[in-house]
Amino acid sequence: MTEHSADQRRLREILTTKSCVMLDFDGPVCAVFTGLAASTVAARALDAIRHAGYADLAQRCETNDPLELLSLLAADGPELVEDVEAVVRSSEIEAVSSAAPTPGAVELIERCHASGRSLCIVSNNADSAVSAYLAEHGLTDPVDAIAARRPDDATYLKPDTRLLQRAAEATGTSPAACTLVGDSPSDVKAAHAFGAPAIGYANKPDKFERLTNAGADTVTEQLKPITSTL
Ligand SMILES: [Mg+2]
């Protein structure tokens, strides 16, 4: 048996018992920072920290990843989270207007919806950015719930389970009836902590190993095998 057919079998085992598919946004739905680089957004956020008079903190939190920056800030400078989150949020809204759609994402979302399952977007990106992208791409209707970052969520991003809990509550689903598709080890950790299997989406060569090592229940390099199993 080839590796590919083994993956299909594993996907079938996971998906046949699930009534709620949670989909990470950046990666499985689109590449958020295509036209506006994540490093640019992080630089804007670090500028905001400096301008607020916290140059030392900006130095300690130096990173190219705006979401990592929010998490660092939640621990190290909670009084700045609200303002910096707003900077990241407006940049993400700007970014999604030029985000590259992930091949097969529309088909996956529509097939999932047509299968009678709930489809939720579970994202560390701003909820308003996710909504804007879905509206622009005609995907508002087939998405049953968006559980994405709100201004006061910076402390509870994945791998925390808060966003998954919110999605499950919104769709009236128990963890055992959910699975999460994501492209980061933090997605795998969040799914497992929540009690749901994780389907790794390895859209870049190095991710297959990283997702496997993180304990993903199966890993696929394309969305199509997921869609054809739904
Ligand atoms: Mg992702």
Ligand 1 center from residue 1 Cα (angstroms)? 30
Does 112 share its domain with 66?
Answer: no
Residue 2, CA distances (Å) to 5, 9, 78, 164, 205 in order: 5, 11, 50, 33, 19
Question: What are the structure tokens assigned to 117, written together?
Answer: 């399952």
Report whether pLDDT(6) > 70: no
Does 142 share its domain with 219?
Answer: yes
Mean pLDDT of the chain: 95
Does 21 share its domain with 84?
Answer: no
Q: How far apart are CA 209 and CA 167, in angstroms?
A: 28
Give the end of a domain, one of 96, 126, 142. Answer: 96
Question: What are the structure tokens assigned to 71, written together?
Answer: 């998490």
Does 123 share its domain with 218?
Answer: yes
Does 145 share its domain with 174?
Answer: yes
- Percent pLDDT > 90 in the chain is 94
Conformation bin of residue 204: beta by default, left when phi > 0, alpha when psi is -120 to 50: beta
Q: How far apart are CA 1 and CA 132, in angstroms?
A: 43
Where is pLDDT greater, at 167 or 8?
167
Does 68 share its domain with 119?
Answer: no
Contact 67, 25 (CB under 8 A): no
DSSP state of 81: H
Ligand 1 center from residue 129 Cα (angstroms)? 14
pLDDT at 8: 87
Does 90 share its domain with 106?
Answer: no
Conformation bin of residue 215: beta by default, left when phi > 0, alpha when psi is -120 to 50: left
Residue 190, CA distances (Å) to 63, 179, 185 in order: 22, 11, 9
pLDDT tens string 162-207: 999 999 999 999 999 999 999 999 999 999 999 999 999 999 989 9
Ligand 1 center from residue 157 Cα (angstroms)? 12
Write b or e for each residue in 172-204: b if 16 or more Cβ atoms lie within 10 A of its Cβ, otherwise e. ebebebbbbbbbbbbbbbbbbebebbbbbbbbe
pLDDT tens string 119-160: 999 999 999 999 999 999 999 999 999 999 999 888 899 999
Question: What are the structure tokens assigned to 115, written together?
Answer: 């299968």
Does 104 share its domain with 89?
Answer: no
| Rounded mean pLDDT, 198-223 | 95
Ligand 1 center from residue 28 Cα (angstroms)? 7
Which residues constitute the domain of residue 201?
3-31+100-229
What CATH number did the domain enclosing 220 receive? 3.40.50.1000
- Alpha-carbon Rg for the chain, nearest whole angstrom, is 17
Ligand 1 center from residue 162 Cα (angstroms)? 16
pLDDT at 5: 55
Report whether pLDDT(2) > 70: no
Give the end of a domain, one of 96, 119, 139. Answer: 96
Ligand 1 center from residue 149 Cα (angstroms)? 13
Contact 61, 46 (CB under 8 A): yes
Does 115 share its domain with 172?
Answer: yes
Does 117 share its domain with 172?
Answer: yes
Token pair 């299968």 is found at 115
Does 8 share its domain with 73?
Answer: no
Listed in sequence order, the residues at least 6 apart from 208 whose beta carbon sits closer than 8 Å to its beta carbon are 200, 202, 219, 221
Query: What is the chain's length?
Result: 230
Does 140 share its domain with 215?
Answer: yes
Our count of domains for the chain comes to 2
Give the end of a domain, one of 96, 112, 135. Answer: 96
